[in-house]
Structure 1
Amino acid sequence: MKRRQFITLLGGAAAAWPIAARAQERVRRVGVLMNTTPDEPDSQARVAALSEGLQKAGWAVGRNLRIDTRWSSGNRARLRKDAADLVALGPDVIVAGVGPTTLVLQQVSRTVPIVMAQTIDPVGSGFVKSLARPGTNATGFTQFEFTLSAKWLELLREIAPQVARVGILRELEGQAGIAQWAVIGAAASPLGVELSPIDVHADGDTERAVAEFARGPNDGLIVAVSSTATIQRDLLVKLAARHRLPAVYPYRSFVDAGGLMSYGPNLLDGYRRSATYVDRILKGEKPADLPVQAPTKYELVINIKAAKALNLELPPTVLARADEVIE
């Protein structure tokens, strides 16, 4: 073979090799388990943030990645079924939404890697052995530290100093509701604020629970972090307005829905960061060795329209600290 022909043949083979390699590239499978409804814009945005993060890491659906998403819509029986269905698909890793998803997934499998995108109390819930070294098939990102709970009460008193009695809407399944109550209770004592628990769960009568609490002009409301609160967001905002309760929420989505004020993490950021752990697990690292990480930023968001409806004059100092003020 002449030298020129050999070089031409070699060049053609080199050019064809990446195409062949791409054609044979292994498709990895990622499951996503959400305990919310598929028609909820915020939940769709979180899944989109995860997908964008994976794309930035070099993963492309249809080429080297497949994503299977299940929406359990707050239904416990359906959540268990969806978890079992996802595990049966043989995924390389599953991304778990809010708290109960991880619990149910670990009941189904202790071997399939799990990345928690918005867990609350992974150690207390038994999902991991420690934050630094999870030691199980799960790792991921917490929504907040429990000390944040005291900040909700401080903010509530700043914007509504007349509040003397505060209802804490909490979910008692797991340790998170109890822990948040304890932190808020410690902060309430020096302020002379009376606390009243409003215990809820996804299948309960939240309307009645809030109505039974709201009976005075000096009442206020703190919505603690829970899957029930996330699922019932619109209802909780409506109830706070109906009973004229100044309320502080854990996420900005409540304020976008008409709520008064929120202070908490950016959940989209948690899903973007989860993509980095999915990427690392797909490349061979183990959840047991990846530390559980806390949020990097908390946001204060205020709704001026909601404040006016309650005849609240927001202090300039609070408005100045806000990351966003919705008119």
Structure 2
Amino acid sequence: MLVSVVGAFILASVCLAEAQQPAKIPRIGFISSAGTPGSLSRRFDAFQAGLRDLGYVEGKNLLIERRYAGGKLARTPALVNELVQEKVDVIVAINNVAIHAAREATKTIPIVMVCSIDPVVAGYIESFARPGGNITGLAHLGRDLSAKRVELLKEVLPKMSRVAILWDTDGPGPAIAFKEYEAAAQAFKLELRSLEVRGPAPDLPGAFQLAKAARADAFIVVGNAFMYPHAKQIFELATKNRLPSMTEQRQYVDAGGLMSYGANLPDVYRRAADYVVEILKGARPGDLQVKLPERFEIFINLKTARQVGLVIPQHVLIQADKVIQ
């Protein structure tokens, strides 16, 4: 009898100790090769809002480790390795350099990507329906919208015959984008001029001199982690040369670009939270279908239009989701 009582007491003590242990708080690694916490706040806020909608609040039942390379692409692998060494439960990689670095760093930690190129072609996943491996997420396929951006430029500039493409020759995404713009220019019977820049100190004045010499009617900025920190200088030079611009994301219009067309990225980031929560609940990333954007948006900066001496047609203005006065 005594043995039974002692055994029951020990068993009860063990159960009580297990019950009193605090539940493990999951940790998410959020990595971008672009920007700083401030410059990406709109997107990160959308991601956090998506988590909150699903019952996960940072500092309460979730921790988020943030890493930003500030456009210095070579720093990205080291930042990803920090997250791997800290054994985060999920890595959220939000551009191509970060996705590639995360894929190289771990085959076991789940990765939720926000990708601007075809992730199958890039080799990140096996298929959209069944990604396989440890990567899933969203592909906003910004590069596949190249023809629509050229079409919008033609609506604003009906007599446009020459267009220049400003792009970072060292970036994997921009190389794909340039080919897409080449095809779009050919389809619209436009002459195309390549304005190639590379880091760490791009010769932007030289690029605009080339655009002027080529008599370009407008130029398109291929956005990536390297290009955005130089946005202010780019659009100051564009204004000085009275050269209209098309960009791929609204942040460039906020920085002085004329127009942008692309996926609604805050909505994409909000939806990325769905994947994180599914994985935390036990889903395997390789089984979660990779999805596409549901919303697209046009932004127009009328202040910039006035500075370059351009009147935006009314039929284009009414398509805009936001017009900056």
- SS of the counterpart of 2:256? coil
Higher mean Cα deviation, 122-131 or 282-291? Answer: 122-131
Give the equivalent residue in structure 2 for 1:277.
Answer: 275
**1:278 and 1:89 mapped to 2: Cα distance?**
17
1:200 and 1:209 in contact (8 A); partners too: no
2:197 and 2:207 in contact (8 A); partners too: no
Give the equivalent residue in structure 2 for 1:240.
Answer: 238
1:208-243 CA deviation, whole Å, 9 max, x = no partner? 452242215543101124332334332322232232
Q: Tell me: CA distance 1:255–1:146, structure 2 relative to 1, closer, same or farther (3 Å).
A: closer
1:229 and 1:236 in contact (8 A); partners too: no
Whether 2:113 is the aligned partner of 1:98: answer no
Q: Tell me: CA distance 1:201–1:275, structure 2 relative to 1, closer, same or farther (3 Å).
A: farther
- Structure 1 vs Structure 2: percent identity of aligned residues? 36
1:72 and 1:78 in contact (8 A); partners too: yes
Q: Which amino acid aligns with 1:158?
A: E
Q: Tell me: CA distance 1:236–1:132, structure 2 relative to 1, closer, same or farther (3 Å).
A: farther
Q: Name which of 41, 58, 68 aligns with 1:61.
A: 58
Give the equivalent residue in structure 1 for 2:3.
Answer: none
Number of residue pairs aligned between Structure 1 and Structure 2: 307
Q: Tell me: CA distance 1:22–1:126, structure 2 relative to 1, closer, same or farther (3 Å).
A: farther
Q: Tell me: CA distance 1:62–1:168, structure 2 relative to 1, closer, same or farther (3 Å).
A: same
1:28 and 1:65 in contact (8 A); partners too: yes
Q: Which amino acid aligns with 2:98?
A: T
Q: Tell me: CA distance 1:39–1:114, structure 2 relative to 1, closer, same or farther (3 Å).
A: closer
Give the equivalent residue in structure 2 for 1:26.
Answer: 24
Superposition deviation, residue 39 in structure 1: 5.2
**1:149 and 1:131 mapped to 2: Cα distance?**
21
Q: Tell me: CA distance 1:77–1:222, structure 2 relative to 1, closer, same or farther (3 Å).
A: closer
Whether 2:227 is the aligned partner of 1:229: answer yes
Q: Tell me: CA distance 1:267–1:66, structure 2 relative to 1, closer, same or farther (3 Å).
A: same
Give the equivalent residue in structure 2 for 1:319.
Answer: 317
2:142 and 2:262 in contact (8 A); partners too: no
Q: Tell me: CA distance 1:136–1:241, structure 2 relative to 1, closer, same or farther (3 Å).
A: farther
**1:40 and 1:202 mapped to 2: Cα distance?**
22
Q: Which amino acid aligns with 1:90?
A: K
Q: Which amino acid aligns with 1:45?
A: R
Give the equivalent residue in structure 1 for 2:251.
Answer: 253
In structure 2, list runs of 5 or more residues that go unmatched: 1-17
Superposition deviation, residue 23 in structure 1: 7.1
Q: Tell me: CA distance 1:174–1:128, structure 2 relative to 1, closer, same or farther (3 Å).
A: farther
1:121 and 1:176 in contact (8 A); partners too: no
Superposition deviation, residue 78 in structure 1: 2.1
1:124 and 1:175 in contact (8 A); partners too: no
Taking the TM superposition and a 5 Å limit, the aligned residue runs for 1:1-327 are 24-38=22-36, 40-41=38-39, 43-144=40-141, 146-173=143-170, 176-216=173-213, 218-327=216-325
Q: Tell me: CA distance 1:110–1:235, structure 2 relative to 1, closer, same or farther (3 Å).
A: farther
Aligned-CA RMSD value: 2.2
**1:22 and 1:64 mapped to 2: Cα distance?**
17
Q: Tell me: CA distance 1:62–1:310, structure 2 relative to 1, closer, same or farther (3 Å).
A: closer
Superposition deviation, residue 185 in structure 1: 2.6
1:162 and 1:218 in contact (8 A); partners too: no
Q: Which amino acid aligns with 1:75?
A: K
In structure 1, list runs of 5 or more residues that go unmatched: 1-19
Higher mean Cα deviation, 226-235 or 288-297? Answer: 226-235
Superposition deviation, residue 27 in structure 1: 0.6
Superposition deviation, residue 260 in structure 1: 0.6
Superposition deviation, residue 148 in structure 1: 1.2
Q: Tell me: CA distance 1:88–1:119, structure 2 relative to 1, closer, same or farther (3 Å).
A: farther
**1:79 and 1:183 mapped to 2: Cα distance?**
26
Higher mean Cα deviation, 104-113 or 84-93? Answer: 104-113
Q: Tell me: CA distance 1:292–1:238, structure 2 relative to 1, closer, same or farther (3 Å).
A: farther
- SS of the counterpart of 1:215? helix
2:142 and 2:263 in contact (8 A); partners too: no
2:34 and 2:224 in contact (8 A); partners too: no
Superposition deviation, residue 156 in structure 1: 1.1
1:199 and 1:209 in contact (8 A); partners too: no
Q: Which amino acid aligns with 1:99?
A: N
2:299 and 2:322 in contact (8 A); partners too: yes
2:35 and 2:225 in contact (8 A); partners too: no
